[in-house]
Structure 1
């Protein structure tokens, strides 16, 4: 059980604020690792990793995309995304093709096998929901709050970035 956060004030502005169980970043980190463990088991049936699954989700939703746009959707830079895409291509799930309009741009397309994997993936969200023990409304509310948290942190980070003011 997590200890409640101490009241803000000079009398509590000491060690309590540095307790691991008071750090939201650690709670998010631990939850992320737990999710990754569940996804690892569930996605084994599909033969993909969690990051590969995220790429497929975007492509199933958006269709072919330039690597840059795919990276924006996933919040990944090209250095992280490129090896991931190479592995998906080696698995026969996507094709990387130079854009006919811009030779510098590489477009990612699902193969027939990548497209057909979507039907098998339909079971993944249900299994994740079951694993959480939450109902769909709770999951939706949590996702909304996490999206708000992400937006607030993005804004704070951009304010802190030198030269962004």
Structure 2
């Protein structure tokens, strides 16, 4: 999963090219979709157990159900699931361009990808604002309720359904 986001930032050109080749080779391996979905769900649940707030009235923009990490995990799932058939999916390392590629290839609908794109952008902007203001990236009560539900519904539709 980490290789989906990995990119070299410095080094000899030959090393950078070798890293890109290895990254592409690993990411483009065929994977069994149900097993992949189960592994991603399990990893996400472990992260959530460790990092999400225990108070159900607090929405952590990053770690709670329906937060930005759920979007990141879904994008990583899509890349790992379909890169063997669509190697262009491993071109980008950022979620927004990966979502554009997923939509262009018709792997998820353009509307679904646009919804996830907009949710990611809104959550990321709110997280950045929180950091700049020196406060935790939390929303109280019904804050971000529509985004949370959209992200959670897509999670259920894509990952939980694929895991069965």
Provide the TM-score with structure 2 as the length reference. 0.31
Higher relative contact order (CA 8 A, sep 6+): 2
Provide the TM-score with structure 1 as the length reference. 0.31
Which structure has the greater CA radius of gyration? Answer: 1
